[in-house]
């Protein structure tokens, strides 16, 4: 157990306060005769897309900063986080808005000392244990030991980053880091969830398919908006449209969702729970965001296994895949982020072209008491 409290940095805009959604609501009120702008239309941070420049002007207005709504659950989240960590607000605002931002934070989050408010745009020079931010550019350049992306519509284009979907998932992740030296190894002997985490090209699906040939291992059917590839069977995924996926997501049909290479993936509890209840192990190839969500739900009955394959072999597998060049490029560019995720998994398993040894190792880990 570490003898010091972990240091956690929190971004503010669209992490604790509504920013893009608030700006969009103001712009739509200003232009009632125009087609409303949706938050989902914002594909990246900055003045891009329709109304982009108008949004940027709002971000530079002190009155906007003074009146930003607090995100639902943010105050309770910060209070809980402050009980297990030293919390710092790391926020980038123009000089004219700094006083308004600091005053809001002191008033709305009184449990955090004023001296823990860090104002400025150079987030890349701040060293922390964990950093939560919705800006992918901030996460990719962060010096934090564990930079964590808060998933939003505008940051779905970059895959592989350690990411969470909710405050609850982030709190659990912080607990995982804090307790990393004292937590017991997961026990799946009476049923549980085995999350296969790893970069593209790490043979996660091949390992999962081979593993489910063994007694006591089953692969739940997850949903995706990704197109079906050649020679993929009906039980590889539940292939659905993006419109249907978003509808089901809004209906809370999934216990975890993520975006990889621009496609949505989701796992429903109805597909996992029956497997676990009958004492089997649900085997799920999944990204780190979904894995953390499942770990949060199943706790000691969930094992995160990182599939570590030689980088050059992973790249060869990506290049050989029947996918478009843009998708290949995104996957290769995300490798550095994805290999870093091994640090937060329960076990790291070396993967070669012959997956039999990997499967034997995983079976042994699952069956140990």
Q: What is the pLDDT along the chain (369 residues), one digit of tens a residue?
A: 334 578 999 999 999 999 999 999 999 999 999 889 888 877 766 656 667 788 889 999 999 999 999 999 999 999 999 999 999 999 988 999 999 999 999 999 999 999 999 998 788 888 898 999 998 888 878 888 889 999 888 877 666 678 888 999 999 889 888 776 456 788 898 899 999 999 889 999 899 999 999 999 999 988 999 888 877 777 778 899 989 998 888 888 888 787 777 788 888 888 899 999 999 999 999 888 788 888 888 888 999 999 999 999 999 988 988 788 888 888 888 888 888 888 888 899 999 878 899 999 999 999 875
Is the domain of 150 the same as that of 199?
Answer: no
SS3 334: coil
pLDDT of residue 351: 92
Instruction: Using the structure block, give the residue that is written with the tokens 């209906």.
Output: 251
Full domain range(s) for residue 312:
192-367
pLDDT of residue 3: 43
**Alpha helices, DSSP H, located in 111-264:** 136-140, 167-178, 204-211, 242-250
Please give the Cα distance from 14 to 17 (Å, whole number). Answer: 5
pLDDT of residue 2: 39
Please give the Cα distance from 305 to 98 (Å, whole number). Answer: 43
Q: Could you give the count of Cα atoms lying within 13 Å of 217 in the half-sphere of its Cβ?
A: 21
Residues 6+ apart with CB under 8 A from 217: 194, 211, 280, 281, 283, 363
Q: Output the domain CATH number for residue 337.
A: 3.40.50.300
Are residues 246 and 266 in contact, defined by beta-carbon separation less than 8 angstroms? no
Query: Given 146, 178, 210, which residue is the final one in a domain?
Result: 178
- 291: its two tokens: 């894995």
Beta bridge partners of residue 307, listed in sequence order: 349
**DSSP label at 368?**
-
Query: Given 148, 178, 208, which residue is the final one in a domain?
Result: 178
- The pTM for the full model equals 0.69
pLDDT of residue 44: 67
Beta strand pairing status for 223-224 and 130-133?
A: unpaired
Residues 6+ apart with CB under 8 A from 367: 189
Is the domain of 114 the same as that of 208?
Answer: no
Widest pairwise Cα distance in the chain: 65
pLDDT of residue 45: 63
pLDDT of residue 49: 63
Is the domain of 80 the same as that of 34?
Answer: yes
Q: Please indicate, yes or no, if residue 186 is contained in any of the structural domains.
A: no
**Main-chain phi, psi angles of 269, to 5 degrees:** -60, -30
Q: Output the domain CATH number for residue 86.
A: 3.40.50.1000
pLDDT of residue 250: 82
Q: Residues 71-99: pLDDT tens digits?
A: 999 999 999 999 999 999 999 889 999 99
Q: Please indicate, yes or no, if residue 336 is contained in any of the structural domains.
A: yes
Is the domain of 203 the same as that of 272?
Answer: yes
> CA of 268: how far to CAs of 39, 237, 248, 250, 355, in Å?
25, 12, 10, 13, 27
């Amino acid at each position: 157990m570490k003898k010091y409290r972990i240091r956690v940095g929190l971004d503010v805009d669209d992490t604790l306060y509504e920013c893009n959604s608030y700006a969009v609501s103001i712009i739509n009120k200003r232009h009632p005769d125009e087609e409303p702008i949706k938050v989902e239309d914002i594909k990246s941070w900055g003045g891009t897309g329709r109304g982009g420049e108008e949004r940027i002007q709002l971000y530079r207005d002190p009155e906007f900063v003074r009146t930003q709504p607090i995100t639902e659950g943010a105050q309770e989240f910060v209070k809980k986080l402050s009980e297990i960590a030293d919390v710092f607000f790391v926020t980038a605002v123009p000089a004219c808005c700094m006083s308004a931002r600091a005053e809001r934070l002191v008033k709305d989050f009184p449990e955090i000392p004023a001296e823990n408010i860090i104002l400025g745009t150079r987030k890349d020079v701040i060293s922390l244990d964990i950093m939560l931010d919705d800006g992918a550019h901030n996460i990719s350049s962060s010096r934090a030991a564990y930079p964590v992306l808060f998933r939003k519509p505008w940051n779905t284009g970059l895959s592989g980053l350690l990411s969470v979907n909710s405050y609850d998932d982030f709190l659990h992740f912080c607990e995982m880091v804090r307790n990393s030296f004292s937590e017991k190894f997961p026990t799946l002997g009476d049923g549980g969830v085995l999350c296969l985490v790893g970069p593209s090209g790490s043979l996660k699906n091949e390992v999962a398919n081979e593993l489910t040939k063994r007694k006591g291992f089953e692969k739940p059917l997850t949903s995706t908006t990704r197109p079906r590839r050649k020679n993929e069977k009906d039980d590889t995924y539940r292939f659905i449209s993006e419109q249907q996926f978003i509808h089901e997501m809004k209906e809370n049909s999934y216990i975890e969702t993520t975006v990889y290479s621009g496609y949505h993936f989701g796992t429903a509890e109805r597909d996992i729970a029956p497997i676990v209840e009958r004492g089997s192990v649900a085997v799920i190839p999944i990204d780190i965001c979904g894995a953390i969500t499942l770990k949060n739900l199943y706790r000691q009955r969930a094992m995160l296994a990182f599939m570590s394959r030689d980088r050059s072999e992973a790249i060869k597998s990506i290049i050989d895949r029947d996918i478009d060049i843009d998708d290949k490029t995104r996957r290769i560019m995300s490798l550095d982020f994805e290999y870093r995720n091994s640090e937060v998994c329960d076990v790291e398993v070396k993967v070669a072209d012959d997956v039999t040894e990997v499967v034997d190792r995983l079976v042994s880990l699952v069956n140990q008491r």
